[in-house]
Chain A
């Protein structure tokens, strides 16, 4: 067998292990370990790599953001932020038809702004909002489905653990990815709220109505969410504004929410220990998958599969949008069985090289150069430049041709094709990352296996899971419409970073 064949055979082997209930991280580790053993005719190299690879994988500065964000989410819950968010949203929306469900979505969006995990958002908001929805006569399946969909906002709205992992795998800027996720995240919340109003119109009995709350009370409730705004502004604003690195932002957020929780009386010795052990469980789960993925991807790289796949796809001359569509559908299908983080760690090292050789037409070097030259001239860069040089530049631009760098340097523009391509690749990577994020998150609420569906459904023992499945289809529809929108109009995603 050639190395590439060994690499290709590892896929079915890995899927078999995963479907046999082998923990996903362990399955990837075993596939990588055995694969390296077969390629190298013995395990000495795989073993030698283990001497440093576990340590170096776990000691990643960028990944340290993960436990910090998880701890921040726990502190936010202890600090009562989930309750105050829900109360505020509910006081404004609760009297409308379906208003309590809309308030739950709003509160999920707010909590998502200070929590990096979908599962934590779903679990926290479920605890707060589920009893309220029941109290106002919302049907079981509608309530659980609403909260499940709301949970996905935990990852879509930054900060987001899955986005951090994507950024590291695709070697992209975490701050820019966070910024790019904001508008799609808000669109998601709006889409869910629209779906709720459609649902209650179609099923009028599924939701009750309660009398409006006095205005003064609404404003008081809104005032109570200031810690959420403060933390979100500080963390995401600070990261986006370049005040600190994403890891620093996570540390600020964790300490900030911790202090707020301490003052609110939510943080005691006992709950602190509970936060530590809960953070320990999710962190270890994530990092063991990261370790398995690092080992498996190291093996894949040696087997040359990702490079060969990327070369093959680009040689076929497929339409970039067709390739993108196939990948997104693949994620939706895989998402019926697997959790989002595992999918990203498993697939991005293979799919990203493919996507990055495709041209989605985000940046055209000549156009970009001409724009920059025009801007430079408008800013007075042409002053003092010899007239014949300017004539040459203008002639080339009028003809729509590239201006040689030596000439463009005269007006201070030193753009090269490499730099332009790097910008184009960055746009592609960010846009693709947000699309993937949405489809893998949709996977968390697609039947039969949806981690968030399970978590929420387990909180409501009277509701059969089938009821949840039925109602959640509405929200999945909203997700698919949003993906179509973002594919058709990349600027929605890229707007905040261009």
Chain B
């Protein structure tokens, strides 16, 4: 089961990577257009902004599942194995709650941007498109967060190691 969520978040991260690559190409094409006089891509700036929000939301679940977040563990290393597992269980439960709150509130933002009809300044595409893409990734983030918290709690109760630390290289 952990492999399923790991695979899911990895897939999402790769999708984010593909979007990142597309944005890079857009920016470069725009520079070339501008410098050769063929004309830059209008609103490349806005495309990068909307796309980047999706990328980050898409990257978060995989980073979460593989323990990429920066921590200071020098003081907690002194804790016993058991206490340490319980500490992680508590932290990742709180983290899951935060990820859910983020997704739920982002939904609120999405609905309000949808109803308001707000667009970007230059391309004038609806702002909610970007919100919708980000929201989909944020939902997976919330689900992955809950799963990871369950894993941590199971680890604390049983003493077994389940979670995967560190990503592939």
Asked if A and B form a direct contact in the complex, defined as CB atoms under 8 angstroms apart, the reply is: yes
A contacts, CB < 8 Å to B: 18-26, 29-30, 47, 50-52, 54-55, 58-61, 63-64, 67-68, 71, 243-244, 247-248, 251-252, 254-255, 273-285, 287-289, 337-339, 341-342, 448-449
Which of A71, A248, A275 touches B31 (beta carbons < 8 Å)? A248
Which chain A residues lie closer than 8 Å to B57 at the CB level?
A: 58
Given contacts A51-B106, A51-B112, A60-B49, whether A30 and B98 have CB atoms under 8 Å apart is yes
* A26 in contact with B62 (CB, 8 Å): no
7 residue pairs bridging A and B, Cβ less than 8 Å apart: A19-B75, A51-B105, A55-B134, A61-B49, A63-B52, A251-B24, A278-B168
Which residue of chain A lies nearest to B44 when distances are taken between CB atoms in the complex? Answer: A248
* A337 in contact with B106 (CB, 8 Å): no
A52 CB, nearest partner CB in chain B, Å = 5
* A67 in contact with B63 (CB, 8 Å): no
* A280 in contact with B17 (CB, 8 Å): yes
* B55 in contact with A67 (CB, 8 Å): yes
| Assembled-state Cα–Cα distance A288/B48 (Å) | 19
B169: Cβ under 8 A from any A Cβ? yes
* A449 in contact with B74 (CB, 8 Å): yes
* A23 in contact with B55 (CB, 8 Å): no
Residues of B in contact with A, size category: 35 or more
B23: Cβ under 8 A from any A Cβ? yes
Which residue of chain A lies nearest to B30 when distances are taken between CB atoms in the complex? Answer: A248
Which of B50, B52, B72, B98 touches A19 (beta carbons < 8 Å)? B72
Given contacts A51-B108, A58-B134, A284-B62, whether A255 and B28 have CB atoms under 8 Å apart is yes
Which chain B residues lie closer than 8 Å to A54 at the CB level?
A: 102, 105-106, 134, 138
| Assembled-state Cα–Cα distance A63/B55 (Å) | 12
15 further contact pairs, Cβ within 8 A, besides A24-B69, A251-B23, A284-B62: A19-B72, A20-B91, A24-B70, A26-B94, A50-B106, A58-B55, A58-B56, A58-B57, A58-B134, A64-B49, A243-B35, A254-B24, A281-B66, A283-B63, A285-B63
Which chain A residues lie closer than 8 Å to B24 at the CB level?
A: 68, 71, 251, 254-255
B71 CB, nearest partner CB in chain A, Å = 5
| Assembled-state Cα–Cα distance A50/B64 (Å) | 20
* B169 in contact with A283 (CB, 8 Å): no
Which residue of chain A lies nearest to B79 when distances are taken between CB atoms in the complex? Answer: A21
A164 CB, nearest partner CB in chain B, Å = 14
B contacts, CB < 8 Å to A: 10, 13-14, 16-18, 20-21, 23-25, 27-28, 30-31, 35, 45, 48-50, 52-53, 55-60, 62-64, 66, 68-76, 87-88, 91, 94-95, 98, 101-102, 105-106, 108-109, 112, 130-131, 134, 138, 167-169
Which of A20, A68, A284 touches B63 (beta carbons < 8 Å)? A284
Which residue of chain B lies nearest to A448 when distances are taken between CB atoms in the complex? Answer: B74
Which chain B residues lie closer than 8 Å to A243 at the CB level?
A: 35
Which chain B residues lie closer than 8 Å to A248 at the CB level?
A: 27-28, 30-31
Which chain A residues lie closer than 8 Å to B35 at the CB level?
A: 243
Which chain B residues lie closer than 8 Å to A29 at the CB level?
A: 98
Which of B17, B48, B56 touches A275 (beta carbons < 8 Å)? B17
